[in-house]
């Protein structure tokens, strides 16, 4: 099997048509986007050229995005990049929330959401949070500017083996892979880093911003994450 796994260019399904979208930004070039993917409704593009650019990566999760049903209870959508499987997938991470009392920078009534990082630790086999990786990048366009966080277990490379995360190599799809950070990886949005509001919000604003779907990873975030992997990590060509 090749380093990229079974996701070869010949496997990439036909690209779905674009449909109209408003008030969005292109996940490829960051220009205003008047279109979104007609299949998942979650990837936004300024043009067919940008959709074509994103498609080999986007296609990996486009169908799963639609099929993935939110479980009962409080869960946010995250990304899981298994080290030894060819493809990434969406997962659900539990959260709890408390209603803000207006004393701590959040407006009264705002639902402050707290991601269950213990669940993330258990998923990755971490014994304590500080054995993981804490890299983060700004989230894609949202009203409250959350950050995308990366969690993983660092595996000691000293055994002479060359490990790499197979599902990340498949997703970057550019003939190189990452060596710096190893093991499975979870990517999610943390609300605790949201910027505070500048103006007194209306009830309608509070309700809109309190929607936990604001911290779901989207297909636009998937592209942002892949750009990060393509440019910000220690990489080597796949031989
Ligand atoms: Zn674009
Ligand atoms: Zn799509």
> What does the pLDDT read at residue 34?
95
Give me ligand 2 centre to Cα 225, in Å: 16
Chain centroid, CA 23 distance in Å: 20
Q: Is position 191 within any domain?
A: yes
- What is the number of domains present in the chain? 1
Residue 137's closest CA among 32, 224, 234? 224
Which ligand sits nearest to residue 220's alpha carbon?
A: 2
Residue 118's closest CA among 100, 148, 94, 86? 94
- Give me 93's structure tokens: 């991470």
User: What's the number of CA atoms in the CB half-sphere (13 Å) around residue 89?
Assistant: 12
Q: Output the tens digit of pLDDT for each of the chain's 239 residues.
A: 344 444 555 578 899 999 999 888 999 999 999 999 999 999 999 999 999 999 999 999 999 898 889 999 999 999 999 988 989 999 999 999 888 887 877 778 888 888 998 899 888 887 665 445 556 777 777 777 678 888 887 655 555 555 678 888 888 877 666 665 567 889 998 875 555 666 777 888 888 878 888 889 999 999 999 988 888 656 666 55
76 exposure class (CB count in 10 Å sphere: 0-12, 13-18, 19+): buried
- Give me 136's structure tokens: 């983060």
Give me ligand 1 centre to Cα 45, in Å: 5
Give me ligand 1 centre to Cα 29, in Å: 4
- Residues near ion ligand 1 (CB < 5 Å) are 26, 28-29, 46, 50
Structural domain range at position 104: 71-237
Q: Is position 63 within any domain?
A: no
Give me ligand 1 centre to Cα 48, in Å: 8
Q: Is position 14 within any domain?
A: no
Packing angle between helix 48-67 and helix 219-231, nearest 10 degrees?
120
Which ligand sits nearest to residue 49's alpha carbon?
A: 1
β-pairing verdict for 136-138 and 147-152:
antiparallel
Q: Is position 119 within any domain?
A: yes
> What does the pLDDT read at residue 19?
96
């Amino acid at each position: 099997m090749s380093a990229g796994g079974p996701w070869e260019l010949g496997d990439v399904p036909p690209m779905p048509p674009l449909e109209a979208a408003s008030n969005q930004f292109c996940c490829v070039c960051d220009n205003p986007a008047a279109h979104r993917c007609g299949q998942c409704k979650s990837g936004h593009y300024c043009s067919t050229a940008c959709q074509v650019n994103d498609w080999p990566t986007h296609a990996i999760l486009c169908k799963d995005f639609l099929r993935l049903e939110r479980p009962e209870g409080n869960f946010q959508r995250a990304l899981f990049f298994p080290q030894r499987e060819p493809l990434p997938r969406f997962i659900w991470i539990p959260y709890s929330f408390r209603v803000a009392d207006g004393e701590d920078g959040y407006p009264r009534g705002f639902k402050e959401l707290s991601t269950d990082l213990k669940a993330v630790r258990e998923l990755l086999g971490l014994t304590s949070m500080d054995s993981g990786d804490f890299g983060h990048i700004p989230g894609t366009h949202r009203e409250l500017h959350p950050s995308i966080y990366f969690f993983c277990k660092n595996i000691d490379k000293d055994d002479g083996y060359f490990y790499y995360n197979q599902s990340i190599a498949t997703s970057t799809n550019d003939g190189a892979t990452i060596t710096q950070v190893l093991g499975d990886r979870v990517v999610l949005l943390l609300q605790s880093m949201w910027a505070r509001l500048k103006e007194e919000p209306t009830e309608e604003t509070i309700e809109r911003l309190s929607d936990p779907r604001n911290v779901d990873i989207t297909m636009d975030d998937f592209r942002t994450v892949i750009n990060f992997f393509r440019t910000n990590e220690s990489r080597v060509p796949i031989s």
